[in-house]
Amino acid sequence: MKKSIFIIVMAIMAVLAIRTAYARLADDRVAISGVSPSVDVYRCIGDRDCDGIRDSSDNCPTTSNHDQADFNSDGMGDACDDTDGDGTKDSVDNCPEVANLDQLDSNSNGVGDVCDDADGDGVIDIDDNCPTDINPSPQADIDGDGKGDACDDSDWDGYNDDVDTCPLIYNTRQTDKDEDGIGDDCDNCKMVPNPGQEDSDGDDIGDDCKTDWDGDAIPDVDDNCMLKPNNDQADLDEDGLGDACDPTCDGPNCPSTTTVAPEEDVQQDFGGGCTIMTVGGDSGTIFGMILMIMAALSIAKIRKGD
Q: Average pLDDT in the 158-167 region?
A: 93
- Inside any domain, residue 42: yes
Phi, psi of 305 (to 5 degrees): -65, -35
Q: Which of 68, 91, 108 is the last residue of a domain?
A: 68
Q: Judge whether 192 lies within some domain.
A: no
Please choose, from the candidates 75, 74, 77, 107, the residue with its C-alpha nearest in 3D space to the C-alpha of residue 92.
Answer: 77
- Give the pLDDT of residue 118: 82
pLDDT of 290: 66
Q: Answer with the one of 19, 46, 68 that is the final residue of a domain.
A: 68
Is 147 domain-assigned? no
Percent over 90 (pLDDT), the chain: 23
Distance between CA 139 and CA 244 in Å, rounded? 54
Higher-pLDDT residue of 34 and 146 is 146
Q: Are residues 63 and 7 in the same domain?
A: yes
- Span 125-147, mean pLDDT? 89
Total domains present in the chain: 3
Give the pLDDT band (50/70/90) at residue 298: low
Q: List all residues 6 or more positions away from 86 whose beta carbon is below 8 Å from its beta carbon.
A: 93, 99, 100, 101
Contact between residue 51 and residue 31 where contact means Cβ atoms under 8 Å apart: no
- The boundaries of the domain holding residue 243 are 211-247
Lowest mean pLDDT among 5-14, 43-52, 281-290: 281-290
Separation CA 143–CA 163 (nearest Å): 14
What would the pLDDT profile of 192-207 be if each residue is shown by its tens digit?
899 999 998 888 888 8
pLDDT-based confidence at 157, cuts 50/70/90?
A: very high
- CA pair distance 106, 123, nearest whole angstrom: 16
Where among 201, 219, 247 does a domain terminate? 247
Q: Indicate whether 151 belongs to any domain.
A: no
The verdict on residue 28 lying in a domain is yes
pLDDT at residue 34 tops 80: no
Q: Is residue 219 part of a domain?
A: yes
Question: Picking from 41-55, 106-120, 180-194, 254-268, which range would have the lowest pLDDT averaged per residue?
Answer: 254-268
| 250 pLDDT more than 90 | no
User: Are residue 225 and residue 278 in the same domain, yes or no?
Assistant: no
Judge whether 184 lies within some domain.
no
Q: What is the pLDDT of residues 206-219, one digit of tens each?
A: 888 888 888 898 88
Q: Look at residue 7 and tell me if it is in a domain.
A: yes
What type of residue sits at position 55?
D
